[in-house]
Amino acid sequence: MAGALSKVPTSRLYMAQQRAMVRLQLWFTGQTSQMILDFQKQARDTILSHVDKDGKLDSSATFQVQTKLLSQWGDVQSQWVKTFNRARAAAAQIAFGTMGVIHDRYVQPNIGNEIQESVTSGVFNPQIQILMDKATEKIYDDGLNLSSRIWSDDRNTRDAINKALMQGLANKDSAWNIAKNIEDSFGANDDCPRWTSTRLYGLTKDQIADDNPAGLQGATGSPCDGSGVSYRALRLARTELQRIHAAATDSVMEQSPWVQKEQINLSPAHAEDDECDDVASGGENGDGVYEVGEIELPIHPNCLCFATAVMMDQDEFTSKLADWTKGTGDWPEMDDYAKDLGAPIDTDFSDDTSVLALGVLVFENADKISELLK
């Protein structure tokens, strides 16, 4: 992995970070669709196993089916939430991976001849947990936080199941039609898991590193747009994964003395003009450059805009760091960085694969994402 990361120029690390993030989005999109597709099949089998001789559900069978389906959905929802929370942590971790890589290139080689320590796994975990807690409890314009949004979607899903069953019973529909109505309300597309898997496994490392559009335009492709339950789950997940990733990116940039400002960039999958275009062409010079944290991403639900760092010239950084190390130059930002790093300033991050999630997600196969999220 260290060899793969060495291929990425420092100036392109934040772009590589975004490619890693989109691959995580692709992976989670496929996982979500597969979970819902599995439930749709399970629901159909459950319904059809309770039919009478006319292929319908009587009131007793409807009640039994209702009980089983709600229990089965509860299991799916629990699995989805667990996977989602692990993906949120990885989305934050990617940003700290960038911080670790740049630290190894900018800071660690210029600190001196002290014995360098390899960081223990999870050095950034406290910072990541604080960010996740803040994002979870944030109250939005609709008065809901993340937990409330998940609960609301779960309640809407259960209501859709109950409605389809009760209407089917009242209308004396066939069990097959009831199953079809429930399947339609979930709206997952059979093509989505295969489509995302192709982009995760089918591209070479060079194609990924070269910014191949087929690998980037994946999180909102038509096979994965979905409807109903599927759409709501993906909309929530995409937005919240972007939100925690953007918060982590801002946090890392604010801590990093080598970052001067940030630039807001449109996603390669951005097709139609909207408020994102205004932000990406705004700022003092009309180039989308702002003070770090001035723009809160995502700008809207399903937004895939991302921030890249406007970095200090490396020679300037090295010179200032040399003076700071010798004690001949004041640098309050580096004082704060050394204090807040969570490890000695001469730490070597290169061997910590859990911190360098960036390298795992960009350059390795998609099964590495699954390993990371176990």
Amino acid identity, position 157: T
Q: Report whether 85 contacts 216 (CB < 8 A).
A: no
Q: Which residue type is seen at 284?
A: E
Kindly tell me if the per-residue pLDDT of 358 is higher than 80: no
C-alpha span between 193 and 173 (Å, rounded): 31
Task: Give the best-scoring range by mean pLDDT among 25-29, 193-197, 259-263.
Answer: 259-263
Segment 293-323, tens digit of pLDDT: 999 999 988 888 999 999 999 899 999 999 9
pLDDT value at residue 368 = 61
Q: How far is CA 323 from the centre of its chain?
A: 39
Query: What are the strands, taking DSSP E only, across the chain?
Result: 259-265, 289-290, 306-311
Which range has the worst mean pLDDT, 38-52, 172-186, 216-230, 243-257? 216-230
From residue 201, alpha-carbon distances to 196, 208, 209, 215, 256 in Å are 9, 11, 14, 10, 34
Helix axes 175-186, 228-255, angle to 10 degrees: 20
- 44, 45, 163, 198 from 66: Cα distances, Å: 12, 13, 10, 36
* Amino acid, single-letter form, for residue 126: P
Distance spanning both ends of the chain, measured CA to CA: 19
**Lowest-confidence range among 59-73, 150-164, 260-274?**
260-274
> Which tens digits make up the pLDDT trace of 83-121?
999 899 889 988 988 888 889 888 988 886 555 555 556
Question: Mean of the pLDDT values across residues 146-164?
Answer: 95
Distance of alpha carbon 46 from alpha carbon 302, whole angstroms:
34
Q: Mean per-residue pLDDT for 159-163?
A: 96
What would the pLDDT profile of 119-129 be if each residue is shown by its tens digit?
556 788 899 89
Residue 219 has pLDDT above 60, yes or no: no
349 or 292: which carries more pLDDT confidence? 292
Residue 4 has pLDDT above 90, yes or no: no
Distant-in-sequence, close-in-space partners of 34: CB < 8 Å, separation ≥ 6: 193
pLDDT, tens only, 8-34: 777 788 888 888 888 888 889 999 999
DSSP 180-211: HHHHHHH---THHHHHHHHHHHSS-HHHHHTT
Name the more confident of 213 and 238: 238
Structure confidence at residue 330 (pLDDT):
94
